[in-house]
Amino acid sequence: MIRFLDLHSINARQQGAILAAITRVLDSGQYLQGNELAQFEIAFGRYCGASHCVGVGSGLDALSLTLQAWIQLGLVQPGDEVIVPGNTFIATILAITHSALRPVLVDPDPATHNLGVEGISGAISGRTRVILPVHLYGRMADMDAIMTLSRKHDLLVLEDAAQAHGAKINGRMAGNWGHAAAFSFYPAKNLGSLGDAGAVTTSDASLADMVRLLGNYGAREKYKSSVSGCNSRMDEIQAAVLREKLQSLDDETAHRRKIARIYGESITLPGLKLPEQIASHAWHLYVVQCRDRDRLRADLDSAGIETMIHYPVPPHLQEVYADSDLANTGLAVTEQLSNEVMSLPIGSHLDDGDVHRVCRVLNSLAT
């Protein structure tokens, strides 16, 4: 059986360091807002090239708290529009609707599966305040062009970098392009904790300060709340584990790139569209496209190869938005992708032999 993902095997390779990190926290007696979080924030901010990093409870919270912080700072008004790709994980959209903002869903560029500047330009209205590109699958959106467009229209840019730890364009990391970026450290992400965790990176000190305030009951000092906040903090155990795992992130990414290269060079099945091999990609997912996706998936499953679909139902067709305007958005590319994409196994739980086996099995199937 070749598993899509094997978190136990991935974390077992660093078991000693992880156990030492957890013991360090246990012994410290400080389980929230201590030195581990402070050190991780410095290290991850530096890794991304952003001057501030704020640890929060999850990737969803990183997105929501950034939008809410901009509202608190008066840069965004409730009811303003946020331009966002239609083909993303539901959390990206929930963050917008939870923040009393209006998502304007845009079909992605079919070649990159990411938001393109043409799509964004066509969606800009008098109420647009934010562009929220998602670096889907670990492939960065065209940030240079998006930032140029944002300057022209005086818009804020929030990167959803939940899948893109370590991705970079021209040496500039994901998380250091927009006015802010949201990361998730959900266990299955490229940099994963042992539970829920997330972070906001930004070079705007007042935004970082407001995100931290909102995630801590709106209180800068204990028992003195100045804004209507919530409780969303990265705990010391997650921070300590992430500090250890950050040190091997580049090796993990290199391993993913190698797997992607093998897939790219060895898969020859006609009718199967492979992702473009580009240097900036962090390969959170290796996503292929095929008209006969469901049958191919079943054949792979019979051959002992596990695959996944990211994502089978796009946000605008989810029940949660059935009664909203979103349900009526026609998103032909997004809907086609949800029927045709399939993610092959990728990650450090696989060796070259496993990857070549996936290629051999795929090449032996007919579409």
Ligand X SMILES: *Cc1c(COP(=O)(O)O)cnc(C)c1O
User: Does 89 interact with ligand X (rule: CB under 6 A)?
Assistant: yes
Q: How many CB atoms lie within 10 A of CB 289?
A: 18
User: Do 179 and 207 contact (CB within 8 A), yes or no?
Assistant: yes
Q: How many CB atoms lie within 10 A of CB 259?
A: 23
Residue nearer to ligand X on the CB measure, 69 or 197: 197
Residue nearer to ligand X on the CB measure, 168 or 296: 168
Interface residue with ligand X, options 21, 44, 55, 59 (CB under 6 A): 59
Please give the full DSSP string across 188-213, using - where no structure is assigned: TSSS--SS--EEEEES-HHHHHHHHH
Interface residue with ligand X, options 21, 47, 56, 58 (CB under 6 A): 58
User: Do 24 and 31 contact (CB within 8 A), yes or no?
Assistant: no
User: Does 160 interact with ligand X (rule: CB under 6 A)?
Assistant: yes
Residue holding tokens 């060895």? Answer: 266
Stretch that binds ligand X, among 29-37, 57-65, 247-255, 291-299 (CB under 6 A): 57-65
Per CB under 6 A, which of residues 274..313 are in contact with ligand X?
Answer: none
Cα–Cα distance for residue pair 69/87, rounded to 1 Å = 25
Cα–Cα distance for residue pair 108/120, rounded to 1 Å = 9
Residue nearer to ligand X on the CB measure, 45 or 315: 315
Interface residue with ligand X, options 76, 134, 157, 199 (CB under 6 A): 134
Three-state DSSP state, 81:
strand
Tokens of 94: 């929930």
Interface residue with ligand X, options 162, 213, 242, 359 (CB under 6 A): 162
How many chain residues bind ligand X (CB under 6 A)? 15
Residue nearer to ligand X on the CB measure, 50 or 136: 136
Residue nearer to ligand X on the CB measure, 200 or 296: 200
Closest approach of Cβ 91 to ligand X, in Å?
Answer: 4
* Residue least distant from ligand X (Cβ): 59
Burial class (CB in 10 A: 0-12, 13-18, 19+), 262: middle
User: Does 198 interact with ligand X (rule: CB under 6 A)?
Assistant: yes
User: Does 186 interact with ligand X (rule: CB under 6 A)?
Assistant: yes
Burial class (CB in 10 A: 0-12, 13-18, 19+), 51: middle
Stretch that binds ligand X, among 12-20, 159-167, 233-241, 259-267 (CB under 6 A): 159-167
**Residues lying near ligand X in the complex (CB under 6 A):** 58-60, 88-89, 91-92, 134, 160, 162-163, 184, 186, 196, 198
